[in-house]
A and B are shown apart, each in its own frame.
Chain A
């Protein structure tokens, strides 16, 4: 058995051909195709216009308020401001986001994988109900836990800092455990037995056998976790409000209030948004296959 066979989610992009049934193209299907392309191109236009709006606005000159599709004279002041200003330096926001999101994501992936390894490959008595409880925790809506968690972090003394955004993630996530468990059950048990014959403990088996075999799953879940953390707004709003450390998404929402008095505050907001979107969209285009697989299995943290 190969790893390819164990893939859980079907890549949606490859799907359409299967449904199509071969019939002679009649007039109806030509008309259908025209309507289809009109619809799709209209949809594409609606998807892309908002991006063009912020790109165009971000290059607007200082006292222009009207939106123009193609600004006659452009200025890069807005970019200069968000990249160099002391108070809301977008690059600082990017660095903050990275160190809040990445370590927690890596530890969380490792731990989720470890738990999934146990569920998929080891025998222990409490397995059934522990797995059931883990899956059940997924069904609790996140916003309902917002108040209780805030109170708890306040008691712990973490409420005015980044710890609430870092520590819980290090314990792994239920959705990730679910995804990895399915993935690992496709890896043959014999590999684990071979490791044991070589005298490896279970932990070493996980690190040296399972992880290398599950790299695509780890990359996929890692990308999803990263995008979720990078885009998170509610967490930073609750815990980083008034703190020196601000994440990128949180900074974007505030940019307006910093430069509200200035005439080109729109351009500044838009420049910030453009810079913040570039890494995420780049990651999406590079790893879109991982995205599709991971998202159709679990969905993005909203």
Chain B
């Protein structure tokens, strides 16, 4: 068979290419190294992805299947199709929607924590003797376990003999709140506890952001006679706004996922009330509710809990997207 000139030309080019390649990579050994690099690189990098596949992706796929099925307890062999009955159950699950409000309330603690971090970091960024020592101490709550933190704050909020109520009575408050039994105050107790833990991380991040502000800007502002407040609003705030946005997003994310402290508080105060999550389920956050649903076949068990997890994911995504949209009004990336 006769070859067309184009094909032979191509072959020649290919040959030429190979020759130049081999002249660039003279030895066979080198070429083997390149192949070895390809294989080793892919294998090394694949291990964490394999972990994700095995312990996150596969479970999610199974969970999606169960959403459309009835299941006897946790037994996967008893799956049978029930079309959208679980979804109907999940969407009409009133406590779930109420728990979402509680979780939103929990995000308040992170917002308060953020405000505190800004104030403390701003103060520490001035020349303050012992500032480093303060930074070290302010970070401690962040490394404590939620179990230990709950034990501390249960003691502090104790209706009889706790510090807060003793203090309130000595200040002349006639009826200090009954934190453990009053459904109005119970969530605020959680908010205060989480707000105690939250600022450590924020202080660190805001401090690092403040340190990166160009000092020349302040010099210039001072020459123009700008007041301290004006300097903050026109230089400092825009410069650290990306960090503040990041911290706000993390706060919303963590707040909407509040579980540990709500669950432990409910357990520690269970001697005072009958509700499973504080008085009248006032401390029932979304994740706490999902956890309860999983353990309660009557409420739909695992399949409904999976749907609720999915709804939580959607809700978190929406809140973060909204936060991003609003951030365009106040975050500047020009610095």
Contacts and interface: CB of A to CB of B under 8 A. Distances in A.
Contact of A12 (B47, B137, B142, B208): B208
Nearest to A172: B48
A69 B179 CA distance: 21
Interface stretch (B17-25, B84-92, B169-177, B199-207): B199-207
A250 to B, nearest CB: 7
Contact of A50 (B60, B120, B158, B196): B196
Interface in A209-250: 227, 230-231, 233-234, 237, 248-250
A266 B140 CA distance: 23
A225 B36 CA distance: 32
B137 A47 contact: yes
B296 interface: no
A154 B205 contact: no
Contacts of A49: 156, 163
Interface stretch (B49-57, B275-283, B326-334): B49-57
Contacts of B160: 65-66
13 contacts: A20-B127, A21-B222, A43-B120, A124-B45, A141-B253, A143-B259, A149-B56, A155-B76, A159-B74, A168-B51, A171-B54, A177-B48, A292-B204
A36 B213 contact: no
A94 to B, nearest CB: 13
Contacts of B308: 147
B267 interface: yes
Contact of B134 (A44, A53, A127): A44
Given A148-B62, A252-B151, A281-B143, A23 B222 contact: yes
Interface string B281-304: 000000100110010000000100
Interface of B: 33-34, 36-42, 44-52, 54-56, 58-60, 62-63, 66, 74, 76, 116, 119-120, 123-128, 131-132, 134-156, 158, 160-163, 166, 196, 201, 204-205, 207-208, 210-213, 215, 218-219, 222, 228, 250, 253-254, 256-257, 259-260, 263-264, 267-268, 271, 287, 290-291, 294, 302, 305-306, 308-310, 312-313, 316
Contact of A273 (B47, B147, B156, B196): B147
A237 B47 CA distance: 28
Contacts of B58: 152
